[in-house]
Every structure is written in structure tokens, then in C-alpha cells.
């Protein structure tokens, strides 16, 4: 039996052409398009690098050893590989014939250091007022979905938001591949597992979620919603499990809700669409939207509250609390923008006040300015 430490060192040696990038904390992703083309993502921007694999056989060797490390097999009959390197970095690969011209490999770097809310403030991804608004909503156990496109920083933002959960609460984390790093004492971490080559041993997110409900969680955190487990989470949210956190792929807050509909339909439970929509509107309280701009920066663009579903119009009712306003691009190509309160108070204001808290003063000020401007405009029309 090869010791784990020896196996890890040997495996990484097969990735020598990209090893320097796997050790570089500024690199978030390494993309290998066959042996002769390698790209990296650094600070949100893609760039091609000079390094190459000596030949296609050396790249196959790296992937076969990765497959062996995670207990899988790859060949022409099984050309897809998902797994993790010893440092926790996530590997996805497509081999020929499915990947014509490949193998194609994407390695998402794993960082043990957690991105904190303070660091997001330093990066101008969020403002102090918006961070305070999120803190209030999290402490009041609002159910939060963090949404965004690929590489928009959803997982990092989820890590940061989870930092705001009170320390005296029991948190159960469910992931299909470990990416979250919650720096807190009372955390139960559960991880799904794919079936082996003979179809045995699979542990699904839905299975883990169902047993989680029997483990006395104060908070349930699901790394990413992808399928039928969405309906389980929605039903848990509407049956007393407040303060849940999760992420999913969506471009705008309204898209989050339609994506949830689609994923909930993947479950093996028949439910009329109107009933499902009513449950989703009742379950999801807050959507925090993340976006990666063309200059590579990652920003929070929306903090929006879901207040219901209008059956007559067939639309979800959304109350935007903070919106990012883009003003343009500077001489260096950087997007100029600012996340500002809309002047809308949250529908859950009564819950916030009952908990002895309040929304940031900037939210009240924005509301006052909006009402003042509205009154002045109305007065001008009647004069």
C-alpha cells in the first residue's frame, strides 16, 4: 500500500508543467486545452502561459494518476473525470473521444485561507452599509441564496457570509466537493461521494440533506444547489429551518427563482407549479447577487428580498434593498461602480426590530431622500 504522502507527492509531480501555478495564490484556475495550450485565471483575467506538457502521453499519465488517487478510472469508455488533487483543488477533465482535440482539464484552485467580510470590504466588492445589512439579515435567520455566474465568487462570498452566523449555533455544511472553509467551532461537514466503477457507494446531496434534518442543525449550508435537492431545501425552509445558506448559478435575482423551479422539478415529488412557486417565494428570503466584471473584479451587485408570488400576474415580487450602479470605465479599463441602498425597507423589518436590531442608517436616509424627492416632484406637477 503506497502511503498517502508519497502518493500525493508522486501525483503532483505529473503536473510539473503547471505546478508553479498550482502553488501560486494569485492563480484561481488552471485550464489545459490539450498538452500544448495552457491558460490560467489570475485576478479574474484569463491569460495564456508558455508552459506545455511534453506530449499527450504525459498529460494522460497525470489524469490516470489523478483518477487512481480519487478511486476512479478514465479511458475511452469513461472519458469524464471529476476529482480533487491532494491540496483540495478541484479537477474536471474530458478525454477523447468526448473531448475532441483534448484532453481538456480545468483545475479550480482550493484556498485554505477563508475570504472574510473584511477582505471583501478592502477589495471594494461590498460596502460597509451593505455588509451591515447582510449581517442583520443573517442574524435574523433569513434564508439566503447567493447567486452568480461561473467564477463570480459565489463560494468565497458564501464563506464570508457564514462568518456572520452567531457562534452559539450548530452549522451543518453539505457539499459534493469540499470548497467551504468555515472558521468556526461547531461545524458538521458532510460530503457527497460518486459511485465507484461498479456503481456502488454513491452518497448524494439529497441523502445527506435528509439525514441533516435529524442532526439538530441551527443552520444548514449547502455549497451549491444543482438538482432535486432544491425541493428538499425549499420544504425545509418553509417548515421552520430558518437561516439556511446556499449558492446557485443565476445572472439576476429573478433568475434565481426560476432556476429553483427547474431544479425542484428534478425531484421525484409531483407538485403543481402554482404550489411550488408559492413555496419557493415563501422559502427564499434574500438573494445576494455576485458578478464578475470585464476588468476581472468581483462585486456584489444586488441584495434583494423576495416578498411573495403574484398569482394573478404569474411573477415573483422582489424588493431590491441594495443595487450596484455602474458609472462607466476609467482610463485603465476598470469598471467604476457603487453599491447603494435603494431606499426600500425590508419586508421583514418587524422581525429585525423584534430582534433588537435595525437596518443601517444609510437605508433610512435613502428612504427619506426618495420620499422627499417624490414629494417635491409631485408638488412641482401641481404648481
pLDDT tens, position by position, 149-201: 988 889 889 989 999 999 999 999 998 877 787 777 899 999 887 777 677 78
- b/e per residue 166-177 (b: at least 16 CB within 10 A): eeeeebbbbbbb
Residue 130 cell numbers, joined: 451593505
Task: Please report the pLDDT score of residue 1 as a whole number.
Answer: 42
Through-space distance between the first and last CA atoms of the chain, rounded to whole angstroms = 89
Task: Please report the pLDDT score of residue 113 as a whole number.
Answer: 58
Instruction: From 278, 265, 335, 329, select the one nearest 301 (Cα to Cα).
Output: 335
Global model pTM greater than 0.75:
yes
Cα-based distances in Å from 316 to 141, 177, 255, 280, 285? 21, 32, 10, 9, 12
> Using CB atoms within 10 A of its CB, is residue 341 exposed (0-12), middle (13-18) or buried (19+)?
buried
**Are the beta carbons of 296 and 157 closer than 8 angstroms?**
no
59: pLDDT strictly greater than 80: yes
Instruction: From 32, 25, 28, 14, select the one nearest 106 (Cα to Cα).
Output: 32
Query: In terms of residues, how long is the chain?
Result: 383
Q: What is the pLDDT of residues 234-259, one digit of tens each?
A: 988 888 788 999 999 999 999 999 99
**Are the beta carbons of 31 and 106 closer than 8 angstroms?**
yes
- pLDDT grade for 25, boundaries at 50, 70 and 90: confident
**Are the beta carbons of 39 and 164 closer than 8 angstroms?**
no
Residue 381 cell numbers, joined: 406637477
Q: What is the pLDDT of residues 91-126, one digit of tens each?
A: 999 999 998 888 999 998 876 556 789 989 998 999
How far from the centroid of its chain's Cα atoms is residue 321's Cα?
20
Task: Please report the pLDDT score of residue 229 as a whole number.
Answer: 87
Residue 279 neighbours by CB under 8 Å, 6+ apart? 234, 235, 238, 271
The helix (H) or strand (E) run that includes residue 195 is none
Radius of gyration of the chain (CA): 23
**Are the beta carbons of 148 and 288 closer than 8 angstroms?**
no
Amino acid at each position: 500500500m503506497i502511503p498517502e504522502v508519497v502518493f500525493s507527492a508522486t501525483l503532483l509531480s505529473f503536473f510539473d508543467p503547471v505546478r508553479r501555478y498550482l502553488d501560486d495564490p494569485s492563480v484561481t484556475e488552471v485550464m489545459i486545452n490539450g498538452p500544448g495550450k495552457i491558460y490560467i485565471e489570475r485576478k479574474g483575467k484569463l491569460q495564456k502561459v508558455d508552459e506545455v506538457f511534453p506530449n499527450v502521453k504525459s498529460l494522460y499519465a497525470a489524469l490516470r494518476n489523478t483518477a487512481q488517487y480519487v478511486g476512479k478510472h478514465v479511458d475511452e469508455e469513461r472519458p469524464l473525470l471529476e476529482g480533487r488533487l491532494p491540496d483540495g483543488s478541484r479537477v474536471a477533465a474530458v478525454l477523447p473521444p468526448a473531448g475532441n482535440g483534448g484532453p481538456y482539464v480545468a483545475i479550480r484552485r482550493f484556498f485554505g485561507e477563508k475570504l472574510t467580510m473584511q477582505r471583501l470590504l478592502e477589495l471594494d466588492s461590498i460596502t460597509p452599509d451593505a455588509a451591515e445589512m447582510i449581517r442583520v439579515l443573517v442574524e435574523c435567520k433569513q434564508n439566503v441564496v447567493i447567486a452568480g455566474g461561473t467564477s463570480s465568487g459565489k463560494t468565497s462570498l458564501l464563506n464570508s457570509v457564514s462568518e456572520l452566523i452567531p457562534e452559539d449555533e450548530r452549522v451543518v455544511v453539505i457539499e459534493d466537493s469540499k470548497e467551504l472553509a468555515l472558521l468556526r467551532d461547531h461545524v458538521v461537514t458532510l460530503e457527497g461521494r460518486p459511485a465507484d466503477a461498479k456503481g456502488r457507494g454513491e452518497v448524494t446531496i439529497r441523502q445527506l440533506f435528509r439525514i441533516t434534518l435529524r442532526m439538530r442543525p441551527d443552520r444548514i449550508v449547502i455549497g451549491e444547489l444543482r438538482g432535486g435537492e432544491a425541493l428538499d431545501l425549499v420544504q425545509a425552509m418553509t417548515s421552520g429551518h430558518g437561516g439556511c445558506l446556499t449558492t446557485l448559478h443565476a445572472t439576476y435575482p429573478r433568475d434565481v427563482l426560476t432556476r429553483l423551479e427547474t431544479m425542484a422539478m428534478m425531484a421525484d415529488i409531483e407538485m403543481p407549479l402554482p404550489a411550488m412557486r408559492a413555496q419557493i417565494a415563501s422559502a427564499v428570503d434574500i438573494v445576494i447577487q455576485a458578478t464578475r466584471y470585464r476588468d476581472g473584479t468581483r462585486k456584489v451587485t444586488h441584495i434583494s428580498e423576495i416578498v411573495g408570488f403574484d398569482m394573478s400576474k404569474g411573477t415573483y415580487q422582489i424588493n431590491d434593498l441594495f443595487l450596484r450602479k455602474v458609472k462607466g470605465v476609467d482610463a485603465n479599463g476598470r469598471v467604476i461602480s457603487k453599491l447603494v441602498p435603494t431606499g426600500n425597507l425590508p419586508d421583514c423589518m418587524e422581525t429585525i426590530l423584534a430582534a433588537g436590531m435595525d437596518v443601517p442608517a444609510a437605508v433610512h436616509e435613502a428612504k427619506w431622500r426618495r420620499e422627499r424627492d417624490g414629494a417635491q416632484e409631485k408638488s412641482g406637477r401641481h404648481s
